Structure 1
Amino acid sequence: MLAAMPPPATLPVPTGAASVRDRGDACPGTLRLHRADDGALARIRIPGGVLSAAQADVVRELAERLGDGELHLTSRGNVQLRGLRPDCGGELASRLGESGLLPSERHERVRNIVASPLSGLDGLGRRDIRPWLATLDELVCASDLTTELSGRFLFALDDGRGDVDALGADVTLLTPADGDAALRIGQAGTVLRIPDEHAPRAALIAAETFLDTARGSGVWRVAELRADGGVLLDQVVRRLRQAGIPATRTPGPVRPARSAAPSPGIVDGPYGTVALSVGVPLGRVGAEQWRALTRAARQREDGGGELRLTPWRGVVVPGVERARAAETLDALEAAGLITGVRSPWAGVGACIGRPGCAKSLADVRAGATAALGPVGTLPVYWSGCERRCGHPRGSWVDVVAAPDGYRVSLVRDGERHAPQPVPDSPAALAAAVAGARGGLDERRPAPCPGT
């Protein structure tokens, strides 16, 4: 944390932002459980979605012993345990700490970092961002100031392919085509070019600067600032230079309107092994499915292995022997995971709905299952209420529960078309959703939902 800084500039904020948030950040974690209708809920932050096979075993064991037995993947590559006993907090924290999943109790809710999940695996990214990931997580956990970040504040590390840059993080590190690193603040088109070796430190300084300049405003995320980000960018440049990090303003790459999830299947690359990419229907992984994933991860000679959870509620398994890849993928398909773009589950997502959420008007997961139709050109997301928790970005089909059925609408690049009322009938819903998605289109299969 920087010392002897000048007083921060005051940033304009949206009208009413502070008055709307008349209480503290209520995002759940592993030390502060959230009370839901199906029991207590814990959210385990997993920076970059990277879990060792041993850590994955611990999380599964806790879900089976303390919760509903399932692992619920989130839109930031994290894991939620649901249906927990209200008195299990101490045991949960102790086991996670022993496994290395709780390196700092003070920072456990702010370790929100997404990273390109195929980085270093397929030869398509401009660099392997894993060293950035490890360093940034260490810096965040070592900073006293970052304990004040909202549980919604998000860092993104993009290896140049634009996948997580499209997620609209508060602070994004990019890999330009001509080397070094670029720092994007919020949605800004202008980025700051910085030396590669200073990239994680620069991301931390940007987050600390946001905290100082927005303190007392009720603002939790950069996008909530009414200004265009120019004032914050000026503050970040000044602090970077005071820290001895050269920063040059330059036009940044155009942020993709829609994030690109890894396609399910075998991910080839210029290496002796391959990776497997699978989707998870509705982001809900059963214990046996999780065991199948960890078995696949442990095919390495050293018996180690890892899983990479993606921000699109999928899983990447690196280090699979090329000769065993097809057999292993078949085993994951037999376990009920999405292994190809022609799966009817490809591109289908949903919030938790009833009975887990009191605000939900319907069991949307059951509704999505009953109305499952042909794969379409757009993702579709089912929401139990108007909050639309976890919905995709960009273009998607919006299905929202209403008192008298559902409302189906098309969202294109953030612009919502007029909703169509649809009765709570599987046949009627399937027809409405298929029509909005574009129906079956062999040329353009839907990606996994960018939620």
Structure 2
Amino acid sequence: MLAAMPDSAPSPLSAGGVSPRDGGAAGASPRSGGDACPGTLRLHRADDGALARVRIPGGVLSVDQAEALLTAAARFGDGELHLTSRGNVQLRGLGTECGGELAGLLTDAGLLPSAAHERARNIVASPLAGLDGSPSIRSWLTELDRLVCDSAAAATLSGRFLFALDDGRGDVDALGADVTLIAEGPAGAALLRIGTADEVFRVTVAEAPRAALLAAEEFLRAARNSGAWRVKDLPDDVRAELVTTIGPASGPAVHRPRPRTATPPAPGPHGPAITADVPLGRLTPAQWQLVTDTARRYGGELRLTPWRGIVIPGPVPRPKAAEALHTLAESGLITAPDSPWTGVGACIGHPGCAKSLSDVRAEAGAAVGPPGGLPVYWSGCERRCGHPHGEWIDVVVTPDGHRISHVRGERRDPPTTVGNDPARLAAAVAEARA
């Protein structure tokens, strides 16, 4: 097993500070400057006010924590809550001086266990784990979060670095995290993947969270001279050496190619649980309160998914599931796979982001057509903040119009550019999705 990285003092974060305007998020890139990923202690300025991103490891929230987030959105921001592609929550329209009070509220709710690590707690997890016959990975989630918060070295991880905990179905393994743990049947073993390498390493279930942390710390060693924020940013030779270094120290190698396309939970019932997706990831205060009240009625927990959905683990009695889903649907949430909103996503767009060339959320809504087809994601600029992974239709606003292309993992088909005529644009997107 790899040795722990020596402790080093993390850079202090200033509650209430506001970083330069960047529209709210940044794509992965080498370390050409400071890490600009939003947090809760260093707010980022957008055109609609300051922005805070609250890390929710595994997307798991108690109903009391959900109430605290709603209170924070109402007290300091515009009242709405935005789900991210990592199962986190963004608060927008914040006052620039609210950082200290916001941090205090989140700390009291147990959402900020370590000020030094608040942006390093990026952990996604299979949202249906333990609910539909798949293994539970809750112990991994709890232990990995504790280990990250106890590691001074981990505090220096970029806010872009991502851990994934997969229950074996391949859903979050497909997201291309920097360090992934995969449950492997009932045999008491787990698989450790570094970046997107096809070779994984078998470790014991008990040692899996520590192996994940030590792999992240080893990445920090490798990144010192490369300027990389994430494993994929490392030069090819450095990345290969990193995998070679971690592998023998972890366990035997196993060939297991990473799934290229994630399959999110379909909205509707799943065993004892129910799932609802959120159109464009944006929840009004009333919708968030309804979800929280439903979760309080059935089990007291909710899970946010990396596909901007919400799982209420329950147990929800079968006769009550249809009733609960009907109520959620009436509020505007997606509760069945045949919704025309299924698979439709967009960045925040104009006017919230200074870099966006268009109000892509309004355009996405205007172009919603018959249900079915490939996922589609609308981006107001070339950065494509929050875009999906796997196979999808990429719509990007450019000065010349909307560029539409079919993405298959790392491959992109030749694009088609459509002018700003709404009818033509909607037709072109529908044709591409089909």
What TM-score comes out, normalization by structure 1 length?
0.88
Aligned to 1:369: 365
User: 1:40 touches 1:82 (CA, 8 Å); kept in 2?
Assistant: yes
Aligned to 1:2: 3
1:158-177 superposed matches below 5 A: 158-177=166-185
CA distance in 2, matches of 1:106, 1:19: 22
User: 2:377 touches 2:394 (CA, 8 Å); kept in 1?
Assistant: yes
Q: Report deviation, 1:138.
A: 0.1
After superposing the two structures, state which structure 1 stretch, 223-232 or 98-107, moved more.
223-232
Q: Report deviation, 1:31.
A: 0.2
Deviation sequence 1:185-205 (CA, Å, 0-9, x none): 111111111111100010001
Aligned to 2:124: 114
Aligned to 1:133: 141
User: 1:35 touches 1:41 (CA, 8 Å); kept in 2?
Assistant: yes
Instruction: Kindly provide the amino acid, as one letter, of the partner of residue 320 in structure 2.
Output: R
Q: Secondary structure at the match of 1:263?
A: coil
Matched, 1:309 2:319: no
Aligned to 2:283: 285
CA distance in 1, matches of 2:84, 2:33: 24
Matched pairs, number: 409
Aligned to 1:443: none
Matched, 1:324 2:324: no
Structure 2: tracts of 5 or more residues without a match: 7-27
User: 1:379 touches 1:396 (CA, 8 Å); kept in 2?
Assistant: yes
Q: Report deviation, 1:238.
A: 5.7
* 1:265 maps to which of 268, 290, 293: 268
Aligned to 1:271: none
User: 2:147 touches 2:210 (CA, 8 Å); kept in 1?
Assistant: yes
Deviation sequence 1:358-398 (CA, Å, 0-9, x none): 11000000111112111232000000011111111121111
Aligned to 2:43: 33
Q: Report deviation, 1:239.
A: 5.0
Question: Structure 1 residues 20, 184: closer, same or farther in 2, change over 3 A?
Answer: closer
Deviation sequence 1:128-172 (CA, Å, 0-9, x none): 001100000000000011011110000000000000000000000
Q: Secondary structure at the match of 1:349?
A: strand
CA distance in 1, matches of 2:90, 2:146: 22
Question: Structure 1 residues 279, 171: closer, same or farther in 2, change over 3 A?
Answer: same
Q: Secondary structure at the match of 1:27?
A: coil
Aligned to 2:10: none
- Aligned CA RMSD, in angstroms, stands at 1.7
> What's the % identity of the aligned pairs?
62
Structure 1: tracts of 5 or more residues without a match: 6-17, 241-246, 269-273, 439-451
CA distance in 2, matches of 1:32, 1:4: 26
Q: Secondary structure at the match of 1:430?
A: helix
Q: Report deviation, 1:348.
A: 0.2
* 2:254 maps to which of 234, 238, 250: 250
Deviation sequence 1:4-46 (CA, Å, 0-9, x none): 99xxxxxxxxxxxx99633111111000000001000000000
Q: Report deviation, 1:322.
A: 2.2
What TM-score comes out, normalization by structure 2 length?
0.91
CA distance in 2, matches of 1:323, 1:305: 19
Q: Secondary structure at the match of 1:298?
A: helix
User: 1:393 touches 1:414 (CA, 8 Å); kept in 2?
Assistant: no
Instruction: Kindly provide the amino acid, as one letter, of the partner of residue 218 in structure 2.
Output: T
CA distance in 1, matches of 2:29, 2:410: 26
Q: Secondary structure at the match of 1:106?
A: helix
CA distance in 1, matches of 2:147, 2:170: 24
Question: Structure 1 residues 207, 435: closer, same or farther in 2, change over 3 A?
Answer: same
Matched, 1:43 2:53: yes
Q: Report deviation, 1:52.
A: 0.3
User: 1:376 touches 1:434 (CA, 8 Å); kept in 2?
Assistant: no
* 2:416 maps to which of 420, 433, 437: 420
